[in-house]
Amino acid sequence: MYLIPVQYHGFRYPATILPKIEEIAGHFDVKEISPVMPYSLHTEYSFSKRNMSSRILQQFNVLREAIYQGIPMLWYSKQWAEEFAEFILSLTWGKREPTIIEIHPPFSNYTSLKEFIDIYTIFEVKIKERYKNTLILIENRCGSLYSKGKFIVSTSQQLMNLVNEIEKRKIELRITLDIPQLLTAHYINTDNINRITEIFQIIKEIKDYIYGIHLWGKKGKGQSHIGDLTSYFNGNLEAKMIFLKCIKDTFDDEHKRFFVPEVNSGEKDLASIIHDLISIGCVFM
């Protein structure tokens, strides 16, 4: 299992691992970006309210108007997709070509999966006109303050349906899998190892479309992105090792996947997660 480490925030990996790509915020309140190395642009993910007041955003009326209680409504229309592409091109103007543009799914109250792909295709064509080598990856999402619907790409079956549409439409969109969000979408208690194993068996069927992995810890309820995998499994080391084995069994191939450790609690927890992955044979490139 080969992983390409992505620099997340300012936290350093253990000394033997040197990231050659960084994640840079590209949500709607970002005014400008300053990449210092190849980068993954993490675009708007619609968890909470945005000010929608940046200078760049003022020229995009459809983006600014597609909000509900301050939360952006992603992929609201074909015009939205056109403006979203222009927003990203404006944000990255004069910078190096992004290695990755990471996008997120829309909400269920205004679009279906097929409608989303129709809308997304407009975006892909426009981005690829300038950035032919950029990967566009969609992250599965679960959880938002948006109250009128849920994200339409959250569960393993929804990811499978997405891959079916990708194959049918022959588009270049690929997936970055946020593993903790996937388990949350299935309401899985971390003690329910059998259910976790079942979910990974489904994911294994679509692994060739998964180009990235997000992993992070948790401490107690409501403390996502805080802690390591030991705290995520409430100290149950047997459950943690079965979980890690599921990851390795699913992705143990020749593909090199981007790895984003969304750990906000410091380098100690980051190092712990890295050590766990190395212990099951993961190789950081």
Q: From CA 239, how far away is CA 18, in angstroms rounded?
A: 30
Residue 118's Cβ-count burial label (10 Å; 0-12, 13-18, 19+) is middle
For residue 186, pLDDT beyond 70: yes
Task: Give the mean model confidence (pLDDT) for residues 139-152.
Answer: 98
113-130 vs 156-169: helix axis angle to the nearest 10?
60
Token code pair at residue 97: 């070509």
Domain boundaries, the chain: 2-10+12-284
Token code pair at residue 123: 């975006």
Task: Give the mean model confidence (pLDDT) for residues 24-41.
Answer: 98
* pLDDT at res. 222: 62
E strands, the chain, in order: 2-7, 21-26, 39-43, 67-68, 71-72, 100-103, 135-139, 174-178, 210-215, 256-261, 283-284
Contact 216, 263 (CB under 8 A): yes
Percent of the chain's residues with pLDDT above 90: 95
Architecture (CATH level 2) of domain 2-10+12-284: Alpha-Beta Barrel (3.20)
Q: What is the DSSP letter of 74?
A: T
**Which letter, b or e, does each residue of 243-281 get, where b requires 16 or more Cβ atoms within 10 Å of its Cβ?**
bbebbeebbbeeeebbbbbbbbbeeebbbbbbebbeeee
* pLDDT at res. 80: 99
192 band by pLDDT with thresholds 50, 70 and 90? confident
pLDDT digits (tens, 9 = 90+) for 211-256: 999 999 988 766 789 999 999 999 999 999 999 999 999 999 999 9
pTM: 0.97
Q: From CA 11, how far away is CA 272, in angstroms rounded?
A: 13
78-91 vs 113-130: helix axis angle to the nearest 10?
30
Amino acid at 173: L
Cβ neighbours for 174, distance < 8 A, ≥ 6 positions apart: 135, 136, 137, 138, 166, 209, 210, 211
Average pLDDT of every residue of the chain = 97
47 band by pLDDT with thresholds 50, 70 and 90? very high
Q: From CA 116, how far away is CA 6, in angstroms rounded?
A: 28
Task: Give the mean model confidence (pLDDT) for residues 136-148.
Answer: 98
- In degrees and rounded to multiples of 5, residue 276 shows phi and psi of -60, -45
- Of the candidates 21, 27, 44, 97, the one whose C-alpha atom is nearest the C-alpha of residue 257 is 21
Residue 125 CA, chain-centre distance (Å), reads 21
Using only C-alpha atoms, what is the Rg of the chain? 18
